[in-house]
């Protein structure tokens, strides 16, 4: 289907994209993903491109508070949404508690996966507080938002870390969950 | 990626009209499968009609205990709904054992049902594949098919349907509500997805342009005793190798009624009707469960590399049933 090299003109749309509380009037190519818009257009390079196929979580950001993979999200669909990236987690100069915990627990090596881990953990903890179960939550059981290690590992399985810093990532998240 | 026009209509009729008006248009749900396939060059729609506004994102509990689920409901919201967890645990478990927290937040019910196979040749436009590029052949048959079908395939295609949710909905006999060119109609599962035959490019019985607007789950009180069990190559965040959705209605020492569906074994979410028939009225015992699994598997025709799935299905079915009746 892709054999015909496509020479048709790009389709663009005017929109307003709200990121970390700032509204950006932009013209987007309909093909643009949120990840590319953030990194290439808005110079918000916190979200990382790992796989570009939803498989690694490095590009995780929050859309209206829910974690999503920005590499599979079309920017053009987000005109009325609020995006939060890792750049927007801190409260002014005070780091988010998860950021502090990641530093204290040495929860990273190269740091490439870290922005995605942080945004994912913020969304994940909100899900747990809302009582969302995971597949390891006991049958019909209610969710203990303090989350044991098995719960944290399962709920964070969409975020891979090539450096294998998982032990400390789990410890850092556990500290904030409790 | 080919440039495309983006539209986001507010209601179903407009969505249908917009799709019909533009050749090469496709509906867009959460985009987790479609955007990926566009990026890979497998699909190249000229227009995307985003239906996340046109399709309801509400879940209604019916007076009789059944559920009405808008096609735009996100997988995460469906899995977390108290009525789903309490009355249809297999559905909550199927959803929660699929993909990742991020993907489940994005994926819609309709998109999940209509997601395409994960066969590696299908996803690679440089390779032949009857499903993606009709008439080019099926290299999986002699090539990489470790995770492909053992039941229901054809000479044209041996792919599996990848959805976990669809397996639970197939066991539950879910009714898919569709808005078509000639008006609304319904399709009961199993029956939405079609076996490949000589037309593997058609995954479902839907006509081009048909819009799924809702999925209804009929009341099934004994589904409160149900389970989804999934085997995959790693502990989490991987597609199914083999899975089973099972519900049993116990009465005294026998199985009065049951529902069983299998995932990872066929081009469609597979309702195990032979196993169900074998189990109805049978005593609650491991031997009955084994006979039921074997009854279904007599039809299995494993390929060179996936014979292991036969034993795996048998074990997973027996284990799921044992778990359900509380025998260890
Ligand atoms: C990394 C990764 C891992 C995954 N792991 C799993 C897994 O373990 N188990 C599993 O089951 N799934 C898994 N998935 C697949 C995921 O569940 C699907 O991609 C998702 O459910 C598709 O839903 P969507 O809303 O994003 O669909 P989209 O990608 O938006 O659309 C999919 C198809 O449905 C059509 N469509 C959408 N809405 C409608 C409608 N209302 N009416 C008619 N047609 C419509 C579209 O045109 C398209 O053809 C995984 C996906 C990824 C990316
Ligand atoms: S099994 Fe089906 S999807 Fe895979 S290569 Fe063959 S025709 Fe294509
Ligand atoms: S870059 Fe988005 S999930 Fe890997
Ligand atoms: S710290 Fe290097 S990938 Fe996670």
The pLDDT tens digits for B248-292 are 999 989 999 999 999 999 999 999 999 999 999 999 999 999 999
Sheet holding B270-271, edge to edge: B226-231, B242-251, B254-263, B270-271
Contact by Cβ (8 Å): B72, B108 = yes
Nearest to A46 by CA among A91, A76, A84: A84
Say if the Cβ atoms of A153 and B28 lie within 8 Å.
no
Is the shortest distance between the CB of A131 and ligand 4 below 6 Å?
A: no
Is the shortest distance between the CB of B266 and ligand 2 below 6 Å?
A: no
Query: What's the CATH superfamily of A97-177?
Result: [2Fe-2S]-binding domain (1.10.150.120)
Neighbours of B13 (CB within 10 A): 11
Count how many domains chain B has: 2
Q: What ipTM score was computed for the predicted complex, to two decimals?
A: 0.96
- Give the pLDDT of residue B265: 98
Nearest CA in chain A to B9: A77
The 8-class DSSP code of residue B60 comes to E
Q: Which two tokens stand for residue B266?
A: 């066929």
Nearest CA in chain A to B224: A140
- Three-state SS at A163: coil
Say if the Cβ atoms of A133 and B85 lie within 8 Å.
yes
Contact by Cβ (8 Å): B139, B65 = no
In chain A, which residues have their Cβ closer than 8 Å to the Cβ of B131?
A: none
Q: Which two tokens stand for residue B324?
A: 């359900």
In chain A, which residues have their Cβ closer than 8 Å to the Cβ of B102?
A: 54, 57, 60, 67-69, 120, 123, 158
Phi and psi at residue B149, to the nearest 5° = -75, 155
Extents of the domains making up chain A: 12-88, 97-177
- Asked whether residue B132 is assigned to any structural domain, the reply reads no
Q: How many Å apart are CA A66 and CA A123, to the nearest integer? A: 6
- Asked whether residue B156 is assigned to any structural domain, the reply reads no
Domain with residue B18: its CATH number is: 3.30.43.10
Is the shortest distance between the CB of B15 and ligand 1 below 6 Å?
A: no
The pLDDT tens digits for B133-188 are 999 999 999 999 999 999 999 999 999 999 999 999 999 999 999 999 999 999 99
Q: How many Å apart are CA B297 and CA B309, to the nearest integer? A: 10
Contact by Cβ (8 Å): A160, A56 = yes
Pocket of ligand 3 (CB under 6 A): A 49-52, 54-59, 69, 71
Of A54, A117, A157, A162, the one to substitute when testing ligand 3's pocket (max ligand atoms within 8 A of C-beta) is A54
Tally the C-alpha atoms within 13 A of residue A33's C-alpha that lie toward its C-beta: 27
Q: How many Å apart are CA B265 and CA A123, to the nearest integer? A: 34
Question: Which uninterrupted H or E stretch holds A13?
Answer: strand A12-19
The neighbouring-strand residues paired with A94 are: A91
- Asked whether residue B6 is assigned to any structural domain, the reply reads yes
Contact by Cβ (8 Å): B167, B160 = no
Nearest to B140 by CA among B132, B128, B125: B128
Say if the Cβ atoms of A53 and B52 lie within 8 Å.
no
Q: How many Å apart are CA A42 and CA A38, to the nearest integer? A: 5
Say if the Cβ atoms of B101 and A120 lie within 8 Å.
yes
Q: Ligand 4: which residue has its CA nearest to atom 4?
A: A161
- Greatest alpha-carbon pair distance for chain B in Å reads 62
Q: Which atom of ligand 3 is nearest to the CA of A48?
A: 1
- Give the pLDDT of residue A3: 43
Sheet holding B211-217, edge to edge: B59-61, B67-70, B211-217, B175-180, B183-188
Q: How many Å apart are CA B324 and CA B319, to the nearest integer? A: 9
In angstroms, how far is the first alpha carbon of chain B from the final one?
A: 53
Pairing of strands B47-50, B25-28: parallel
One DSSP character per residue, B261-292 reads EEESSSSS-EE-HHHHHHHTT-BSSHHHHHHH
Domain that holds residue B240: 227-325
**Percent of chain B beyond pLDDT 70?**
99
Nearest to B266 by CA among B152, B156, B112: B152
- Residue B194 exposed, middle or buried by CB count within 10 Å (0-12, 13-18, 19+): middle
Q: Which two tokens stand for residue B4?
A: 């495309």
Mean residue pLDDT of chain B comes to: 97
- Asked whether residue B297 is assigned to any structural domain, the reply reads yes
Averaged pLDDT, B32-58? 97
Query: Which region among B19-23, B77-81, B119-123 has the lowest average model confidence (pLDDT)?
Result: B19-23
Nearest to B38 by CA among B6, B2, B88: B2
Is this prediction's pTM over 0.95? Answer: yes
Contact by Cβ (8 Å): B282, B318 = no
Q: How many Å apart are CA A52 and CA B255, to the nearest integer? A: 48
- Greatest alpha-carbon pair distance for chain A in Å reads 55
- Asked whether residue B209 is assigned to any structural domain, the reply reads no
- Give the pLDDT of residue A145: 81
The topology under which CATH files domain A12-88 is Ubiquitin-like (UB roll) (3.10.20)
Tally the C-alpha atoms within 13 A of residue A38's C-alpha that lie toward its C-beta: 30
> Please, what are the averages of pLDDT over each run of 10 residues along chain A (178 residues)?
62 98 97 98 98 98 98 97 98 97 98 98 97 88 87 98 98 96
Instruction: State how far the alpha carbon of B7 is from the alpha carbons of A161, B34, B37, B241, in Å.
Output: 37, 15, 19, 37
Which ligand has an atom closest to residue A36 CA? 3
Q: How many Å apart are CA A120 and CA B102, to the nearest integer? A: 8
């Amino acid at each position: 289907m892709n054999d015909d090299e496509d020479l048709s003109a790009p389709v663009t749309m005017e929109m307003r994209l709200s990121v970390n509380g700032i509204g950006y009037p932009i013209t987007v190519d309909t093909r643009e993903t949120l990840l590319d818009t953030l990194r290439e257009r808005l110079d918000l390079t916190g979200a990382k491109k790992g796989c570009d196929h939803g498989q690694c979580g490095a590009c995780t950001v929050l859309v209206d508070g829910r974690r999503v993979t920005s590499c599979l999200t079309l920017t053009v669909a987000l005109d009325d949404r609020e995006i939060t990236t890792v750049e927007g987690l801190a409260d002014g100069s005070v780091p988010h508690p998860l950021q502090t915990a990641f530093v204290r627990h040495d929860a990273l090596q190269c740091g490439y996966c870290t922005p995605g881990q942080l945004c994912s953990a913020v969304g994940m903890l909100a899900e747990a507080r809302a009582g969302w179960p995971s597949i390891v939550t006991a049958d019909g059981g209610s969710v203990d938002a303090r989350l044991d290690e098995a719960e944290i590992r399962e709920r964070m399985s969409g975020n891979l870390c090539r450096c294998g810093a998982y032990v400390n990532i789990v410890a850092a998240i556990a500290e904030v969950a409790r | 990626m080919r440039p495309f026009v983006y539209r986001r209509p507010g209601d179903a009729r407009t969505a249908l009209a917009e799709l019909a008006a533009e050749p090469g248009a496709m509906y867009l749900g959460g985009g987790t499968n479609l955007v990926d396939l566009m990026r890979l060059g497998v699909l190249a729609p000229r227009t995307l009609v985003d239906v996340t506004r046109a399709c309801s994102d509400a879940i209604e509990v019916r007076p009789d205990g059944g559920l009405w689920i808008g096609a735009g409901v996100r997988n995460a919201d469906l899995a977390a709904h108290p009525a789903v967890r309490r009355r249809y645990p297999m559905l909550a478990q199927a959803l929660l054992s699929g993909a990742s927290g991020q993907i489940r937040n994005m994926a819609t019910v309709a998109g999940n049902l209509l997601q395409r196979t994960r066969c590696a040749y299908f996803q690679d436009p440089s390779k032949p594949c009857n499903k993606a590029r009709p008439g080019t052949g099926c290299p999986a048959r002699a090539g990489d098919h470790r995770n492909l079908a053992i039941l229901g395939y054809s000479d044209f295609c041996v792919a599996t349907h990848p959805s976990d949710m669809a397996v639970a909905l197939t066991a539950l006999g879910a009714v898919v509500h569709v808005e078509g060119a000639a008006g609304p109609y319904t399709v009961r599962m199993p029956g939405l997805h079609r076996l490949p035959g000589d037309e593997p490019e058609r995954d479902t019985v839907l006509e081009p342009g048909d819009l799924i607007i809702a999925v209804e789950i009929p009341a099934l009180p004994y589904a409160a005793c149900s389970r989804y069990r999934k085997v995959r190559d790693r502990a989490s965040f991987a597609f199914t190798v083999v899975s089973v959705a099972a519900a049993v209605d116990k009465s005294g020492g026998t199985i009065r009624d049951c529902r069983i569906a299998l995932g990872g074994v066929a081009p469609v979410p597979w309702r195990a009707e032979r196993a169900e028939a074998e189990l109805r009225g049978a005593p609650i015992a491991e031997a009955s469960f084994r006979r039921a699994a074997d009854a279904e598997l007599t039809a299995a025709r494993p390929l060179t590399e996936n014979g292991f799935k036969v034993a795996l299905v048998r074990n997973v079915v027996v284990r799921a049933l044992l778990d359900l009746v509380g025998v260890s």
